[in-house]
Amino acid sequence: MNAEPHPGSTSKNADDIVITLAIRTPLAKARKGSFKDTSLEYLVYALLKEVKDRSSLDPAVVEDICLGNVSDSKAAYKLRAAALAAGFPNTTSCSSLNRFCSSGLKATADIAHAISSGSIGVGIAIGAEQMTIGGDALEAPFDDQVTKHSQESVDCMEPMGWTSENVSRDFGITREEMDNYAAESFQRAERAQKAGLFDDEIAPIKTRIKDANGEWKEVTVTRDEGIRPGTTAEGLGKIRAAFPQWGPTTTGGNASQVTDGAAAVILMKRSTAIKLGQPILAKYVGSTIAGLAPRIMGIGPTVAIPKLLSQHNLTLNDIDVVEINEAFASMAVYCRNTLGLDWAKLNPRGGAIALGHPLGATGTRQIVTGLSECRRTGKKILLTSMCIGTGMGMAGLFVNEQ
């Protein structure tokens, strides 16, 4: 039986920061999927239009929109243009931010904290990534006048696949454990998709795609594309190593997929939601960030989660659903085992290995998926977390109220 959570987490007060809408686009395969010809600004525009229409909120009350995005240096321009096109007035401000894979959660936290401090009243956090166009690989090494002072400074340049191999090697995570974990992620996502569990979190997106002849055609994207039906650990075991120069364990089958997609949440105080007649989906309780060695960045959740739980007087026994970003099966297995997580509670609909990891979107996507699962099962407390390139972990805590 679960221990009673700290009353401050689940209590209801007028000043609580609450989520009144949480939706996402389908997640499409980068470079060959349904969003391969869709711009970042169109993806953001289409989702913001859904946010506006579904919430029936007067767009003029939205004071700020924050976009988490990693790979597009023009994201702030594109967000502003997309928001105006979607029907938000020029009085609604916009910004973008980048804390790598946690950007969507950081956008959520930043909007929540701005509301909490009285800076704004209503805001939207969105995470979006068009990985077809680019990921976050470095174009050139850092200035050696900087890196000569610190090995960890040098380690910040390690590609993510290298850090995955560091985790499996340093902590004795085997290829077999990783493939077993990945197969379970695929199987859970396949079951969830077949049962229609993703339907209440996905907003279908109308867009255009170029066919093999270079002709444009209109499509409506409704389903996640990364799920591979019938995936088994045995099948995954036959896939060759993706980074043989760094190690033998990480493959295209047991690492997160390269993905295009977006997710968004509306945030305001409970008192504001009641005044505006908005449904209260969940309460934002808090979030935190923690740092660690860049070369093993994948284990970031194991430093962020205990820190966040201790801040709120909680233990993992109090948590009903845990969403940890499956950047690589190496870090997912390590985090599950080191934290002693009940695997049944962890990514019950599968994670990034099966669904994909649109870098800036994941932190928001986890909230959308986790809250949907809490609603379906009548569960209360959601914990989200992810590792972050260059050696960090972030975690967020939410209470479902539906």
Task: Identify whether 357 is a catalytic site residue.
Answer: yes
Burial 34-46 (b: 16+ CB within 10 A, else e): bbbebbbbbbbbb
Burial 56-83 (b: 16+ CB within 10 A, else e): ebebeebbbbbbbbbbbeebbebbbebb
Length of the chain: 402
Count CA within 13 A, CB hemisphere, residue 380. 14
Catalytic one of 66, 94, 357, 374: 357
What the block records as the tokens of 76 is: 């702030």
Query: Closest Cα partner for 203 from 219, 218, 222?
Result: 222
Task: Identify whether 156 is a catalytic site residue.
Answer: no
Question: What's the pLDDT at 5?
Answer: 52
Name the burial class of residue 90, with classes exposed (0-12), middle (13-18) and buried (19+) by CB atoms within 10 angstroms of its CB.
exposed
Q: How far apart are CA 48 and CA 65, in angstroms?
A: 10
Other Cβ atoms within 10 Å of 179 Cβ, number: 24
CB 59 within 8 A of CB 122: no
Question: What's the pLDDT at 136?
Answer: 78
Question: What's the pLDDT at 6?
Answer: 62
What the block records as the tokens of 390 is: 């260059």
Question: What's the pLDDT at 99?
Answer: 98
C-alpha torsion sign, points 229, 231, 236, 238: negative
Question: What's the pLDDT at 134?
Answer: 79
402 residues of the chain, pLDDT tens digit each: 344 456 678 899 999 999 999 999 999 999 999 999 999 999 999 999 999 999 999 999 999 999 999 999 999 999 999 999 999 999 999 999 999 999 999 999 999 999 999 999 999 999 999 999 977 789 899 999 999 999 999 999 999 999 999 999 999 999 999 999 999 999 999 999 999 999 999 999 999 999 999 999 999 999 999 999 999 999 999 999 999 999 999 999 999 999 999 999 999 999 999 999 999 999 999 999 999 999 999 999 999 999 999 999 999 999 999 999 999 999 999 999 999 999 999 999 999 999 999 999 999 999 999 999 999 999 999 999 999 999 999 999 999 999
CB 158 within 8 A of CB 295: yes
Catalytic one of 66, 94, 335, 387: 387
What the block records as the tokens of 231 is: 């995936």
CA gyration radius for the chain?
Answer: 20
Amino acid at 15: D
Catalytic one of 66, 94, 101, 335: 101
Task: Identify whether 335 is a catalytic site residue.
Answer: no
CA 225 and chain centroid, separation: 16
What the block records as the tokens of 55 is: 């919430």
3-state helix, strand, coil in the chain (%, to 5): 40, 25, 40
What the block records as the tokens of 163 is: 């850090």
H/E segment holding residue 217 = strand 216-221
Could you give phi then psi for residue 134, rounded to 5 degrees? 180, 150
Other Cβ atoms within 10 Å of 218 Cβ, number: 8
Phi-psi region of 340 (alpha: psi -120 to 50; beta: other; left: phi over 0): left
Classify 147 as helix, strand or coil. Answer: helix
